[in-house]
Amino acid sequence: MIKKIVYGLCLVFLAALFLSPQVYLYLIPKLSDFSSVLLNENTLKAITNTLFVSLTVAACCLLIGLPLAWLLTRTNLPYKSFFRSGFCLPYAIPPFVGAIGWIILANPTSGVLNQWLGLHLNIYSYAGLIWVETSFLFTFVLLTALTVLDQMDSSLEEAARLSGANGLRVFIDIALPLLKPAILSGFLLSFLATAASFGVPALIGGPARIYLMTTQIYTYQRMGTANGLQMSIAVSVILGIATLVLLYGTQLFFSSSKNYTVGGKTSRPSLVPLNGWKKPVTVFLSILLFIIFILPLCGVLLSALSAVQGSWTLSGLTLDNFDRVVFETEETARALRQSLFLGLGSALICTAFAFIFNYFIYRTKWFGRTFASVIASMPFSTPGTVLALAFILSFSRGFFGIGPSLYNTLFLILLAYIVKYMSLSIKTVGDGYQQIHPSLEEAARISGADWWTIMKTIYLPLLKTALIASMFLVFMPVISELTMTILLTGPGLETIGTLIFSLQEYSDMSGGGASVLSIIVVMFILILNFSLKFLSKGRYGL
């Protein structure tokens, strides 16, 4: 009985927070709004820009991610686990930090690389935007491909080698076809992530006057006029619906045709010797890793330590910026406090909900559970900008008119985070449930335990690692979230993400304040990541 009530409450929670705000948003615009979007030069340009940039980024991600995945799993490349960790790490770093780094390195007036090496790089360009997005989003392709390659029964490839195929041929004839679903989803994920990104196009596209749909929505929304709001809603709906169609449409289309289960017992893969290529490939990968990951962070660090921004020298580095930003700016303390609160709050609530909710998914056959789990995961792929707008509209006059307005409160930001990142918890804890044999619960039940006791004494201890991992995995992106927060924030509601953004964009151009906070965030996230990896003995974390 109590089980049924709890299940009902879960469904109500999902319907209220995960479904209705988005549905509400999608029902607002009239057809005429769409035609005015498509007739408007700016919005039309934003749409074509989004398509062009996202497609190019997704293609570049495949180009980098796939060969890397092959080198890291199938060859005798040296320092493999180091490279693997290094190339996966950008996944955990907020991309806007990379954007800040590249602006320092390659802005046309005072870029470090331009000054020191006499180059003429201009990050404020299509190429710059595409490069910075790619340097983070290739991890989507890499991670999906690595997962499949790690699980693939290696005898499939060994059989091909014994048939006379060399290493590359084996990859093309055997691994690549079996990777097809992973390639497709990696491509789609990086495409959608580019289209949904805000920080990078705002920081880099803004000065270059290259607007994507997300930055265009933000601009309209900030105008504060009725017409601006109308336009931002219409563009959001187009972006949101297009995402849904792409994501679920391709799944329907491809799930029927070619999906193989290629997992098998993991035997020892025999590695392809790189022979004479070993040295050049190692050198090349080191350089690539340096450029993608280390170099922009070095840029940020240099700027954080420089008293004068713009004329870069290694002499006279100082900690003054840290002193000023961390100890003498009251916004910083507030932002840190609020980000921590939001991070802990959403990590706890997401994990607790996933713990209960997944029980119904994996341990009952109750009506509506599959649909409910789709609803719970959907907001994760909804562009943050769209989700935030839906929350503003649904909550600004009470929840659809009921209760007090949550607009301009920390609570609304918390709700938005929970909805957006719930999917991470559900997936992590769900995998945990799948590894627990149902007989463990049955044994407890026979011993006379009721449901709540079973949850407490059987599942809670057995799922401990998964629950802890789930908290880390929600906490890490939340601590530096920008895309949604920038729309939901108000006076006094700074978070680390919005503070870095506003320091970079408006208030602290000459002081390196954004760089200081970026360094702190990156260190914090890296520490969290490695503690998670250590605590879970390598099962979670990058």
Partner 1 sequence: MSKVVFEKVGKKYLSTWAVKDIDLTIENGEFVSFLGPSGCGKTTTLRMIAGLEENSHGKIYFDSDVVSDPLIKSFMLPEKRNVGMVFQSYAVWPHMNVFDNIAYPLKLKKLKKEQIKADVEKMMSIVELSGLELRKSSELSGGQQQRVALARGLVMKPRILLLDEPLSNLDAKLREKMRKDIRKIQQDLKLTMVYVTHDQKEAFQMSDKVVVMNQGRIEQIGAPADIQKSPISEFVADFIRSGE
Residue 160 interacting with partner 1 (CB under 8 A): yes
Q: How many Å apart are CA 145 and CA 485, to the nearest integer?
A: 31
Exposure on the CB side of residue 161, measured as CA atoms within 13 A: 16
Residue 162 interacting with partner 1 (CB under 8 A): yes
- From 27, 81, 164, 448, residue interacting with partner 1 (rule: CB under 8 A): 164
Residue 153 interacting with partner 1 (CB under 8 A): yes
At a CB cut-off of 8 Å and minimum separation 6, what does 94 contact?
A: 199, 477, 480, 482, 497, 521, 525
Q: Which is nearer to partner 1, 263 or 490 (CB)?
A: 263
Min dist CB 63 to partner 1, Å, is 23
The alpha carbon dihedral of 179, 184, 187, 188 has a sign of negative
Q: Which is nearer to partner 1, 159 or 333 (CB)?
A: 159
Interacting residues with partner 1 between 231 and 270 (CB under 8 A): 258, 260-262, 264-265, 268, 270
Residue 163 interacting with partner 1 (CB under 8 A): yes
Q: Which is nearer to partner 1, 265 or 537 (CB)?
A: 265
Beta bridge pairs of residue 396: 398
Q: How many residues bind partner 1 (CB under 8 A)?
A: 26
Q: How many Å apart are CA 228 and CA 213, to the nearest integer?
A: 14
Interacting residues with partner 1 between 387 and 416 (CB under 8 A): none
Residue 174 interacting with partner 1 (CB under 8 A): yes
Residue 531 interacting with partner 1 (CB under 8 A): no
Near partner 1 by CB under 8 A, which window of 171-179, 235-243, 299-307, 322-330? 171-179
Residue 75, SS3 per DSSP: strand
Residue 149 interacting with partner 1 (CB under 8 A): no
Residue 169 interacting with partner 1 (CB under 8 A): yes
**Residue 365 main-chain phi, psi, to 5 deg:** -115, 35
**Tokens (6 digits) for 31:** 């057809």
Residue 120, SS3 per DSSP: coil
Residue 27 interacting with partner 1 (CB under 8 A): no
Selection from 143, 140, 134, 138 nearest residue 53 by Cα = 134
- From 93, 103, 145, 178, residue interacting with partner 1 (rule: CB under 8 A): 178
Q: Which is nearer to partner 1, 173 or 450 (CB)?
A: 173
Min dist CB 434 to partner 1, Å, is 22
Q: Which is nearer to partner 1, 166 or 227 (CB)?
A: 166
Q: How many Å apart are CA 302 and CA 27, to the nearest integer?
A: 48
Near partner 1 by CB under 8 A, which window of 16-24, 153-161, 234-242, 389-397? 153-161
Q: How many Å apart are CA 542 and CA 540, to the nearest integer?
A: 7
Q: Which is nearer to partner 1, 165 or 468 (CB)?
A: 165
Q: How many Å apart are CA 528 and CA 525, to the nearest integer?
A: 5
Exposure on the CB side of residue 69, measured as CA atoms within 13 A: 28
Q: Which is nearer to partner 1, 169 or 456 (CB)?
A: 169
Q: How many Å apart are CA 105 and CA 179, to the nearest integer?
A: 36
Binding site for partner 1 (CB under 8 A): 153, 155-156, 158-166, 169, 173-174, 177-178, 258, 260-262, 264-265, 268, 270, 273
